Amino acid sequence: MAETDALPVVRSVAALRETVRGWRRQGFTVGFVPTMGALHEGHLTLVREAGQRADRIVASVFVNPTQFAAHEDLGTYPRQEARDAELLAGAGCDLLFAPSVEEMYPAGATTTISVGGPADGLEGEFRPQMFGGVALVVTKLLNQVQADVAVFGEKDWQQLMVVRRLVRDLDIPTEIVGSPTMRDGHGLALSSRNAYLSEAELEIARQLNGVLAEAGAAAASGASLDVVEQDAREALLRAGFSHVDYVAVRRAEDLAAFEDGVADAAGRVLAAAWLGRTRLIDNMAVAPPS
Protein backbone atom coordinates (compact mmCIF):
# COMPACT_ATOMS: atom_id res chain seq x y z
CA MET A 1 0.00 0.00 0.00
CA ALA A 2 1.34 3.42 -0.95
CA GLU A 3 0.53 6.42 1.20
CA THR A 4 0.34 10.13 0.53
CA ASP A 5 0.74 12.62 3.35
CA ALA A 6 -3.03 12.68 3.50
CA LEU A 7 -4.45 9.27 2.65
CA PRO A 8 -3.46 5.61 2.07
CA VAL A 9 -3.53 4.76 -1.66
CA VAL A 10 -3.84 1.34 -3.29
CA ARG A 11 -3.47 0.71 -7.00
CA SER A 12 -4.27 -2.99 -7.35
CA VAL A 13 -7.49 -4.91 -6.83
CA ALA A 14 -5.60 -7.36 -4.61
CA ALA A 15 -4.41 -4.60 -2.25
CA LEU A 16 -7.88 -3.03 -2.21
CA ARG A 17 -9.51 -6.31 -1.25
CA GLU A 18 -6.91 -7.02 1.41
CA THR A 19 -7.68 -3.72 3.13
CA VAL A 20 -11.44 -4.20 2.88
CA ARG A 21 -11.15 -7.75 4.25
CA GLY A 22 -9.28 -6.34 7.24
CA TRP A 23 -12.10 -3.90 7.90
CA ARG A 24 -14.66 -6.65 7.61
CA ARG A 25 -12.81 -8.77 10.17
CA GLN A 26 -13.13 -5.86 12.58
CA GLY A 27 -16.87 -5.71 11.98
CA PHE A 28 -16.83 -2.46 9.99
CA THR A 29 -19.30 -1.62 7.25
CA VAL A 30 -17.91 -0.18 4.01
CA GLY A 31 -19.04 2.75 1.88
CA PHE A 32 -17.82 3.60 -1.60
CA VAL A 33 -17.69 6.73 -3.77
CA PRO A 34 -16.51 6.27 -7.38
CA THR A 35 -15.06 9.36 -9.09
CA MET A 36 -12.98 10.37 -12.08
CA GLY A 37 -10.95 12.77 -9.95
CA ALA A 38 -10.55 16.55 -10.30
CA LEU A 39 -12.60 16.65 -7.14
CA HIS A 40 -14.77 19.53 -5.96
CA GLU A 41 -17.19 20.11 -3.11
CA GLY A 42 -19.85 18.04 -4.85
CA HIS A 43 -17.66 14.93 -4.68
CA LEU A 44 -16.77 15.62 -1.05
CA THR A 45 -20.46 15.79 -0.18
CA LEU A 46 -20.78 12.23 -1.53
CA VAL A 47 -17.90 11.12 0.70
CA ARG A 48 -19.47 12.73 3.75
CA GLU A 49 -22.83 11.12 2.90
CA ALA A 50 -21.12 7.73 2.67
CA GLY A 51 -19.51 8.44 6.03
CA GLN A 52 -22.97 8.83 7.55
CA ARG A 53 -23.91 5.39 6.30
CA ALA A 54 -20.78 3.25 6.79
CA ASP A 55 -17.81 2.87 9.13
CA ARG A 56 -15.02 2.96 6.53
CA ILE A 57 -15.01 4.77 3.18
CA VAL A 58 -13.24 3.93 -0.08
CA ALA A 59 -13.12 6.46 -2.92
CA SER A 60 -11.82 5.61 -6.37
CA VAL A 61 -10.17 7.96 -8.84
CA PHE A 62 -10.17 6.49 -12.33
CA VAL A 63 -10.70 8.31 -15.62
CA ASN A 64 -12.53 5.52 -17.41
CA PRO A 65 -11.58 5.32 -21.10
CA THR A 66 -14.47 3.05 -22.09
CA GLN A 67 -17.05 5.80 -21.60
CA PHE A 68 -15.32 8.37 -23.81
CA ALA A 69 -15.71 8.55 -27.59
CA ALA A 70 -12.64 9.25 -29.73
CA HIS A 71 -13.55 12.95 -30.15
CA GLU A 72 -14.22 13.56 -26.43
CA ASP A 73 -11.95 14.92 -23.71
CA LEU A 74 -10.31 11.77 -22.32
CA GLY A 75 -6.81 13.12 -22.94
CA THR A 76 -7.47 16.56 -21.45
CA TYR A 77 -9.76 15.55 -18.58
CA PRO A 78 -8.22 17.18 -15.47
CA ARG A 79 -6.03 14.89 -13.36
CA GLN A 80 -4.75 15.97 -9.92
CA GLU A 81 -4.36 12.91 -7.71
CA ALA A 82 -2.30 14.50 -4.92
CA ARG A 83 -4.82 17.28 -4.38
CA ASP A 84 -7.69 14.80 -4.66
CA ALA A 85 -6.13 12.68 -1.89
CA GLU A 86 -5.88 15.69 0.40
CA LEU A 87 -9.49 16.65 -0.21
CA LEU A 88 -10.71 13.09 0.32
CA ALA A 89 -8.83 12.78 3.60
CA GLY A 90 -10.37 16.02 4.81
CA ALA A 91 -13.85 14.71 3.97
CA GLY A 92 -13.36 11.53 6.01
CA CYS A 93 -12.27 9.05 3.34
CA ASP A 94 -10.16 6.14 4.62
CA LEU A 95 -8.68 4.71 1.41
CA LEU A 96 -8.08 5.89 -2.16
CA PHE A 97 -8.22 3.28 -4.92
CA ALA A 98 -6.36 4.72 -7.92
CA PRO A 99 -5.83 1.93 -10.44
CA SER A 100 -4.14 2.18 -13.82
CA VAL A 101 -5.98 1.47 -17.04
CA GLU A 102 -4.02 -1.80 -17.27
CA GLU A 103 -5.20 -2.85 -13.81
CA MET A 104 -8.83 -2.17 -14.66
CA TYR A 105 -8.72 -3.57 -18.19
CA PRO A 106 -5.98 -6.22 -18.41
CA ALA A 107 -4.69 -7.27 -21.81
CA GLY A 108 -7.13 -9.63 -23.47
CA ALA A 109 -10.23 -8.35 -21.63
CA THR A 110 -13.23 -8.63 -23.96
CA THR A 111 -16.32 -8.48 -21.75
CA THR A 112 -18.81 -5.69 -22.35
CA ILE A 113 -22.17 -4.80 -20.79
CA SER A 114 -25.19 -3.67 -22.78
CA VAL A 115 -27.74 -1.60 -20.88
CA GLY A 116 -31.24 -0.47 -21.87
CA GLY A 117 -34.22 0.98 -20.03
CA PRO A 118 -33.09 4.23 -18.38
CA ALA A 119 -29.98 4.28 -20.61
CA ASP A 120 -32.10 4.76 -23.74
CA GLY A 121 -32.28 8.27 -25.19
CA LEU A 122 -30.92 11.55 -23.78
CA GLU A 123 -27.23 10.89 -22.99
CA GLY A 124 -27.64 7.46 -24.56
CA GLU A 125 -28.49 9.12 -27.86
CA PHE A 126 -25.85 11.83 -27.88
CA ARG A 127 -23.08 9.78 -26.24
CA PRO A 128 -23.95 6.25 -27.37
CA GLN A 129 -20.73 4.76 -26.04
CA MET A 130 -21.10 6.21 -22.56
CA PHE A 131 -23.48 3.99 -20.64
CA GLY A 132 -21.92 0.76 -21.81
CA GLY A 133 -18.62 2.07 -20.49
CA VAL A 134 -20.19 3.33 -17.27
CA ALA A 135 -21.98 0.02 -16.70
CA LEU A 136 -18.76 -1.95 -17.20
CA VAL A 137 -16.58 0.16 -14.92
CA VAL A 138 -19.24 0.52 -12.20
CA THR A 139 -19.85 -3.24 -12.20
CA LYS A 140 -16.13 -3.87 -11.88
CA LEU A 141 -15.70 -1.30 -9.12
CA LEU A 142 -18.66 -2.55 -7.12
CA ASN A 143 -17.34 -6.12 -7.39
CA GLN A 144 -13.84 -4.99 -6.46
CA VAL A 145 -14.83 -2.96 -3.40
CA GLN A 146 -17.84 -5.07 -2.36
CA ALA A 147 -19.18 -2.15 -0.33
CA ASP A 148 -22.39 -2.11 1.66
CA VAL A 149 -23.37 1.25 0.18
CA ALA A 150 -22.21 3.38 -2.75
CA VAL A 151 -23.08 7.06 -3.21
CA PHE A 152 -23.60 8.76 -6.58
CA GLY A 153 -24.50 12.37 -7.36
CA GLU A 154 -27.95 13.33 -8.62
CA LYS A 155 -26.43 15.77 -11.12
CA ASP A 156 -25.94 12.74 -13.37
CA TRP A 157 -29.53 11.64 -12.85
CA GLN A 158 -29.68 9.35 -15.85
CA GLN A 159 -26.44 7.66 -14.79
CA LEU A 160 -27.86 7.17 -11.28
CA MET A 161 -30.94 5.49 -12.74
CA VAL A 162 -28.75 3.28 -14.96
CA VAL A 163 -26.64 2.22 -11.97
CA ARG A 164 -29.72 1.41 -9.90
CA ARG A 165 -31.09 -0.71 -12.73
CA LEU A 166 -27.73 -2.40 -13.22
CA VAL A 167 -27.43 -3.33 -9.55
CA ARG A 168 -30.98 -4.65 -9.50
CA ASP A 169 -30.62 -6.66 -12.70
CA LEU A 170 -27.25 -8.19 -11.79
CA ASP A 171 -28.08 -8.85 -8.11
CA ILE A 172 -25.16 -6.77 -6.84
CA PRO A 173 -25.64 -6.50 -3.05
CA THR A 174 -24.65 -2.83 -2.71
CA GLU A 175 -27.20 -0.17 -1.76
CA ILE A 176 -27.11 2.73 -4.25
CA VAL A 177 -27.73 6.15 -2.70
CA GLY A 178 -28.30 9.37 -4.65
CA SER A 179 -26.96 12.59 -3.14
CA PRO A 180 -28.49 15.98 -4.09
CA THR A 181 -26.62 18.16 -6.58
CA MET A 182 -24.20 20.66 -5.07
CA ARG A 183 -24.37 24.14 -6.63
CA ASP A 184 -22.35 27.32 -6.47
CA GLY A 185 -23.78 30.57 -5.12
CA HIS A 186 -25.39 31.24 -8.52
CA GLY A 187 -27.04 27.83 -8.74
CA LEU A 188 -24.62 26.30 -11.25
CA ALA A 189 -24.17 22.57 -10.65
CA LEU A 190 -20.60 21.84 -9.57
CA SER A 191 -18.71 19.88 -12.23
CA SER A 192 -15.08 19.14 -13.00
CA ARG A 193 -15.73 20.40 -16.53
CA ASN A 194 -16.67 23.85 -15.23
CA ALA A 195 -12.92 24.47 -15.15
CA TYR A 196 -13.02 24.63 -18.95
CA LEU A 197 -15.32 27.70 -18.92
CA SER A 198 -14.14 31.28 -19.37
CA GLU A 199 -15.54 34.02 -17.13
CA ALA A 200 -17.95 35.07 -19.87
CA GLU A 201 -19.09 31.47 -20.35
CA LEU A 202 -19.58 31.04 -16.61
CA GLU A 203 -22.04 33.93 -16.62
CA ILE A 204 -24.07 32.14 -19.28
CA ALA A 205 -23.73 28.73 -17.62
CA ARG A 206 -25.21 30.09 -14.40
CA GLN A 207 -28.52 30.62 -16.18
CA LEU A 208 -28.99 26.92 -16.89
CA ASN A 209 -30.46 26.01 -13.52
CA GLY A 210 -32.92 28.91 -13.66
CA VAL A 211 -34.22 27.83 -17.05
CA LEU A 212 -34.65 24.27 -15.81
CA ALA A 213 -36.38 25.43 -12.62
CA GLU A 214 -38.89 27.39 -14.72
CA ALA A 215 -39.42 24.38 -16.97
CA GLY A 216 -39.95 22.14 -13.95
CA ALA A 217 -42.52 24.51 -12.48
CA ALA A 218 -44.37 24.72 -15.79
CA ALA A 219 -44.39 20.94 -16.16
CA ALA A 220 -45.67 20.51 -12.60
CA SER A 221 -48.52 22.96 -13.33
CA GLY A 222 -49.82 20.69 -16.09
CA ALA A 223 -48.45 22.50 -19.14
CA SER A 224 -47.89 20.60 -22.36
CA LEU A 225 -44.45 18.98 -22.14
CA ASP A 226 -43.77 19.65 -25.82
CA VAL A 227 -44.25 23.35 -25.14
CA VAL A 228 -42.24 23.23 -21.89
CA GLU A 229 -39.30 21.56 -23.60
CA GLN A 230 -39.35 23.87 -26.61
CA ASP A 231 -39.59 26.99 -24.44
CA ALA A 232 -36.62 25.83 -22.37
CA ARG A 233 -34.49 25.09 -25.45
CA GLU A 234 -35.23 28.56 -26.83
CA ALA A 235 -34.47 30.17 -23.45
CA LEU A 236 -31.07 28.47 -23.31
CA LEU A 237 -30.19 29.68 -26.80
CA ARG A 238 -31.28 33.21 -25.91
CA ALA A 239 -29.10 33.02 -22.80
CA GLY A 240 -26.07 32.40 -24.98
CA PHE A 241 -25.66 28.63 -25.13
CA SER A 242 -24.24 27.72 -28.51
CA HIS A 243 -26.19 24.49 -28.95
CA VAL A 244 -28.74 22.44 -27.02
CA ASP A 245 -28.58 18.66 -27.33
CA TYR A 246 -31.82 18.10 -25.46
CA VAL A 247 -34.28 19.32 -22.88
CA ALA A 248 -36.65 16.57 -21.79
CA VAL A 249 -39.17 16.00 -19.03
CA ARG A 250 -39.29 12.34 -18.02
CA ARG A 251 -40.63 10.17 -15.22
CA ALA A 252 -38.20 10.43 -12.34
CA GLU A 253 -38.06 6.77 -11.40
CA ASP A 254 -37.28 5.22 -14.78
CA LEU A 255 -36.89 8.11 -17.28
CA ALA A 256 -39.79 6.84 -19.36
CA ALA A 257 -41.69 9.45 -21.36
CA PHE A 258 -45.03 10.68 -20.01
CA GLU A 259 -47.59 9.02 -22.24
CA ASP A 260 -50.17 11.82 -22.43
CA GLY A 261 -47.75 14.71 -22.88
CA VAL A 262 -48.26 16.07 -19.37
CA ALA A 263 -46.48 15.27 -16.10
CA ASP A 264 -48.92 13.10 -14.15
CA ALA A 265 -46.34 11.82 -11.62
CA ALA A 266 -43.01 12.84 -10.12
CA GLY A 267 -40.66 13.79 -12.94
CA ARG A 268 -37.30 15.19 -13.84
CA VAL A 269 -36.42 17.83 -16.40
CA LEU A 270 -33.00 17.03 -17.87
CA ALA A 271 -30.84 19.05 -20.24
CA ALA A 272 -27.51 19.01 -22.02
CA ALA A 273 -26.20 22.18 -23.67
CA TRP A 274 -22.94 23.49 -25.08
CA LEU A 275 -20.89 26.58 -24.37
CA GLY A 276 -18.18 26.60 -27.00
CA ARG A 277 -16.37 23.28 -26.58
CA THR A 278 -17.78 22.57 -23.11
CA ARG A 279 -20.87 20.44 -22.64
CA LEU A 280 -22.90 20.93 -19.48
CA ILE A 281 -25.66 18.72 -18.10
CA ASP A 282 -28.12 19.40 -15.30
CA ASN A 283 -31.55 18.35 -14.09
CA MET A 284 -34.32 19.49 -11.79
CA ALA A 285 -37.12 17.71 -9.98
CA VAL A 286 -40.69 18.07 -11.28
CA ALA A 287 -43.18 17.87 -8.43
CA PRO A 288 -46.05 15.39 -8.87
CA PRO A 289 -49.52 16.86 -9.36
CA SER A 290 -51.24 17.71 -6.11
Enumerate the active-site residues.
Answer: 43
Alpha-carbon distances, residue 128 vs 4, 65, 176 (angstroms): 37, 14, 24
Q: Which of 164, 177, 159 minimizes the C-alpha distance to 54? A: 177
Question: Parallel, antiparallel, or unpaired for β 149-153 and 30-35?
Answer: parallel
For helices 130-145 and 13-25, what crossing angle results, to 10°? Answer: 50
Closest alpha carbon to 80 in 88, 72, 91, 68: 88
Q: What is the largest CA-CA distance in the chain?
A: 58
**Angstrom distance (rounded) from CA 246 to CA 163:** 21
**Strand 243-251, strand 267-275: pairing:** antiparallel
Alpha-carbon distance of 69 to 72, in angstroms, equals: 5
